[in-house]
A = this chain, B = another copy of it.
Amino acid sequence: MKKLLDDPENAVVDSLTGFGAAHADLVAVHGLDGSGPVFVSRAGGAVAGKVGLVSGGGSGHEPLHAGFVGDGMLDAAVPGAVFTSPTPDQIVPALQAADTGAGVLAIVKNYTGDVLNFETAVELAQAEDVEVATVLVNDDVAVEDSLYTAGRRGVAGTVAVEKIAGAAAARGDDLAAVAAVAERVVANVRSMGVALAACTVPHVGKPSFDLGDDEIEIGIGIHGEPGRHRIPKAPAAQITRLLLEPVAADLGLAAGDRVLLFVNGMGGTPLSELYVVYGRARALLEARGVTVARSLVGNYVTSLEMQGASITVLRLDDELEQLWDAPVHTPALHW
C-alpha cells in the first residue's frame, strides 16, 4: 500500500484537519483534538429560521459529505471512520448544530449501520426537542440487499438529494416541504457503477477485493461490495450501456423526459475518461428521446482510489431543475 498518509489509523482526522484549514471560511471541524465527537458544521453557524440539513456516513467517499457543507446545501456532516458508519454520539451534536428551531432533515444513505445509528441519534435529538425528519437515499439499481444493506444502497444520487433539498431549505421551505422535495428526488434518481480496480482501506492495508487484470465488476458498491457480475474488460461504450440501461429501465425513462446526467468518478479514474462515459451516456439517452438538461461530471462520491465510475440519472421537473440551479457555495460544489 502506497498512500499520502501518516498513521493510517489517524487518516480521517489528518484529512479533516487539512480540509478544515483549507475551507475555514465555509466550515468548522469539531473534535479533532479528541475532546469530543468529530463532526463538521458551517463556519458561521446555522442560519436562523432555516430548516437544517445534516448528512453523514463512512469516510472514504470524499468530497461527500463534508465537502457539501455551506450555503445552499448541508448545515452539518458527520464523517465516520473509513467505510464505517458514524456513531450516534457524533450525529447528535451535528443535528443540534443544524437546528435553529425550524427542524432538521437528516439525509441518510441506505446502509444498515447508517440507518441504525441515525435512528438512535434522531431519537436522542428529539428527546432534546430537536424536530427531525429523515430521508433515506437508495438510488443504486445494481442489487437488492447486499453486504451492508437491506434494500438498495445509497450512492451518488445522494449529491442530488443534498443539493436540491439544500436549495429548498435556503429558499425558506418548512421541514415538511424540504423533506417532500428530498423524497421526490429519491423517487426520481437512479445510479449504477463499475469498478476497474479495487481500493485499499488505509488501516487494512490491502485491496478490498480482487479483480483480475482483464476483469471489471459491473454494479459495484461504493465500498467495493459485489455488484451484479464480473465481465472481461470492455470498451467504454459497452460499459456505459450496461450501466445506463438498468438505470433507465428502473426509472421508466420515456421519450420527452428531461434529466440531470451525472457521471461520477470513483477516485482513481481520470476526468478525461469520465467525459468519454458522459458522451456515450448522453448519446444513449438522446437516442431514447430523453433531453439531458443538466450535467455533472467529476469525482463527488468516491471510494478512495478505486478506479471506476457510476452513472446517475435524475428525472427533472421545473421545480427540481430550478432548485438544482440555485446558488451553492461549498468546498466541493460552487455556482
Contacts and interface: CB of A to CB of B under 8 A. Distances in A.
Given A2-B197, A279-B21, A273 B236 contact: no
B302 A270 contact: yes
A211 to B, nearest CB: 8
A235 B236 CA distance: 36
Which of A18, A23, A292 has most B Cβ within 10 Å? A18
A156 interface: no
B63 A271 contact: yes
A11 to B, nearest CB: 7
B271 A6 contact: no
Contact of A235 (B6, B16, B304): B6
Interface string A58-71: 01101100010000
A295 interface: yes
Interface string A271-294: 111111111101000000000100
B271 A62 contact: yes
Contacts of A239: 4
Contacts of A282: 18, 21-22
A119 to B, nearest CB: 27
A223 to B, nearest CB: 14
A15 interface: yes
A59 B272 CA distance: 9
The secondary structure that dominates the A interface is mixed
A268 interface: yes
B335 A274 contact: no
A196 to B, nearest CB: 4
A233 interface: yes
Given A6-B235, A18-B297, A22-B295, A305 B275 contact: no
A14 interface: yes
Interface in A303-335: 304-305, 307-309, 329, 334-335
A18 B270 contact: no
Given A21-B295, A59-B272, A270-B304, 11 more contacts: A2-B196, A2-B307, A5-B273, A6-B236, A15-B276, A18-B279, A21-B278, A23-B295, A63-B271, A270-B302, A305-B307
28 contacts: A4-B236, A4-B273, A4-B276, A4-B308, A5-B235, A5-B236, A5-B276, A6-B235, A6-B236, A6-B237, A7-B235, A11-B272, A14-B236, A14-B275, A14-B276, A14-B279, A16-B275, A18-B275, A18-B279, A18-B282, A19-B278, A62-B272, A62-B275, A267-B268, A269-B305, A270-B302, A271-B299, A305-B307
A-B pairs with lowest CB-CB distance, top 3: A18-B279, A18-B275, A4-B273
